[in-house]
Structure 1
Amino acid sequence: MPVLTIEQITTDPRATTKDEAIQEAADALVAAGAVTPEYADSMREREASVSTYMGNLLAIPHGTNEAKDSILDSALSVARYETPLDWDGNEVRFVIGIAGKDGGHLEILSKIAIVFADEDEVAKLVAAPDAEAILALLGDVND
């Protein structure tokens, strides 16, 4: 099963704050059948101990190690914000929620990090006209 599908990508999210964005990411992972609703609390706990801001307009909220019981399957959610969110003083346009079953999140994280380390790729993601285009740019996460 792919970790990222077209249904898990949004280009018109509603959140205007970091906390709302974390909840949206969790809700998308719940909708994908990857996590239980309790996972959102674990994402907030993780954020309280260490920021998930990664640089280059990206934040990757994810749960704590203790949350593994609320992870049903590995999956991603991707939200692109037109108006940057304030993430502890950093501008964020992309919030990628992540759930990794049995440690699968580390490989997924490394694939995302490779894309977002390249400013040209980030520019393509910002300019992508729709979810299909974003999926095409991030599709390697499913390999």
Structure 2
Amino acid sequence: MEFQKQLVKLNQAFATKEEAIRYCGRQLFEAGHVNESYIEAMIQRDKDLSVYMGNFIAIPHGTDAAKKDVRSSGITIVQVPAGVDFGTEDDPQVATILFGIAGLGDEHLEIIQKISIFCADVDNVVKLADAQSADEVIALLNSVV
């Protein structure tokens, strides 16, 4: 999958995980990858099973039922320097990098797998969090993904 420069968003801040997920969904919608109803499916997916993956990353994506709302595969990478908490008061799970994804067919599984492999090394997550440009983020991801 090719990363789109306009879908790399640096230095964002969100008060809640829902606000962060909606932002990711809006990026995918505005780029034409999904129908607007996919955004609500992204919220529902996190309610069903947290999209927080560990190592300071979250991968917001829609439910299986929302596959019909995916027009084309796409990914938005959102840098959140102050982090956004995907956990609970008792178990904070702070994400500093969000990968909002939509995949045609089973492509989302492949996308999640590649992101997970890259981000399994927390040093890679730190590099993404410290990146100063969309080009730098894309170069980092292309180096492995």
Identify the TM-score tier after normalising by the shorter chain: over 0.9
Deviant stretches of 4+, over 4 Å: none
Higher helix share: 1
Q: Which moved more, 1:55-64 or 1:130-139?
A: 130-139
String of CA shifts for 1:83-110, please: whole Å, max 9, x gaps.
1111112111011111010111111111
> Within 5 A, what are the aligned runs for 1:1-143?
2-88=1-87, 89-139=92-142
Measure, in 1, the Cα distance between the counterparts of 2:50 and 2:37. 20
Measure, in 1, the Cα distance between the counterparts of 2:43 and 2:124. 28
User: For structure 2, which runs of at least 5 residues remain unmatched after alignment?
Assistant: none
1:85 partner SS: strand
TM-score of the pair, normalised by structure 2: 0.91
User: For structure 1, which runs of at least 5 residues remain unmatched after alignment?
Assistant: none
Contact 2:13/2:84 (8 A) holds in 1: no
Specify the code of the residue in structure 2 equivalent to 1:15: F
Aligned residues: 141
CA RMSD, Structure 1 to Structure 2 (Å)? 1.5
Question: 1:40: how far off?
Answer: 0.8
Contact 2:17/2:84 (8 A) holds in 1: yes
1:96 partner SS: strand
Measure, in 2, the Cα distance between the counterparts of 1:3 and 1:49. 29
TM-score of the pair, normalised by structure 1: 0.92
Contact 2:13/2:83 (8 A) holds in 1: no
Measure, in 2, the Cα distance between the counterparts of 1:135 and 1:31. 20
